[in-house]
Structure 1
Amino acid sequence: MPRDTLNRDQIIRAAVEVLDTEGVEGLNMRRLGARLNSAATAMYWHVKSKDDLVVLAADHVWGEIELPDPAAIGWRAAAAALALGAHAMAGRHLWLVSAMSTHLVYGPGKARYDDRCLAVYEAAGFSGPDADQAAATVLMFVIGAVQGEAAESAWRARLRRGGADEQQRFHETIERIGEIAQGFPRLRARTMPSVEETRTLPDESTFAFGLHIILDGLEARLAEAGSPYPK
């Protein structure tokens, strides 16, 4: 694809595809150029660097989340929808957690999401910095919930790039985890899952339980003397 037929949106979308399969470490202009049938140097006419491209791609995926209307469904249902949307989005793009730990990700996509979160918590009755804290608390829970699978995805991508047998190493790691657990009574008392059953990301019921507890806590704060913080 000649340089003059490329545009930045095409490059960002292709970068997201590479990031989804190879992670942040696996993204480079040569691989991206091959995907777009273009010279790697042509990328630099549209983006400054790989770091700049990671930020653009990360902001782009935040734009995938549907924004609920708190006036139509109530603040709590809207807060849950925003959290579930972010959780699902991060699950589709597991590299995002890694990118956010090394890059300052911000742009129209993330700003759009943050602004609606603030609107939701202001609708609930939080104001000023209290709305900021409420939104940040829920987002930290969302990011933490997807951290395990994101770490596993990055580890698998690194094994692939190094030529290791990805599945064999995964089996060996799960077996080692089981051996370690035997040394702790509460872990030993629980049945260790098989390799096929093992998932590092909490299932949807676990995520829903945690989100419900957090929203309960926020609602309780609002009920205490009409203030989000106890006296």
Structure 2
Amino acid sequence: MKKSAIIVAGGSGVRMGSDVPKQFLLLNDIPVLIRTLQLFHAVADEVVLVLPQAHFDYWEKLRNQFSINKTDYQLVAGGSSRTESVINGLEKVNSPGLVAIHDAVRPLVSKELISHAFETAAKYGSAIPVIPVRETLRKVENSSSEVVDREQHRLVQTPQCFDIEVIKNAYKQFSGTTFTDDAGVYEAAGNTVHLIEGEHSNIKITFPADLMFASAWLNARFS
């Protein structure tokens, strides 16, 4: 079964305190986005990179600098929202097959998790990596709050993997609705979400401390 991947790279550097979009920041001398692309290129049959049109020229410079072959991926312009960007990416992949949708700023995902997501989606139609909540949770409403049972909650990661045709149809139904992830779209269309065990190291690089953790993790793993 064909395995496609869509890498969504629409972030900015605002919360990182940087003028450089976070997907282009260097992680141990290699841009975050390039690390992510290389992981999926090793597992998937085709990779679609979704970038804001305004970042195309900058990406071209990076691609040449780090010797990334144009045939390793398809470049697609992102939309005004993550939903639109994913839809644009989905237009480039054809069914039958599976598609993994991944945040570009999760460069520590393992090839094993990517492969496991594809294998699980082939069996159940979807695969969503999650990890247990380790902190105490409180639900805040106006000026009051209450404890939430963390055992009933999970933190959701990417890659989120689906049957291509089913996730395409789901996005067609809810193209004008805002969702924070692809599993939400898939579920809203009446499909059952299948959870798999994620990885605590598979963080989403959002703040400076995340980049420091990622650097230290890579140093420890490959030392």
TM-score, normalising length: structure 1: 0.26
Greater relative contact order, per chain length (Cα 8 Å cut-off, separation 6+): 2
| Larger fraction in strand | 2
TM-score, normalising length: structure 2: 0.26
| Larger fraction in helix | 1
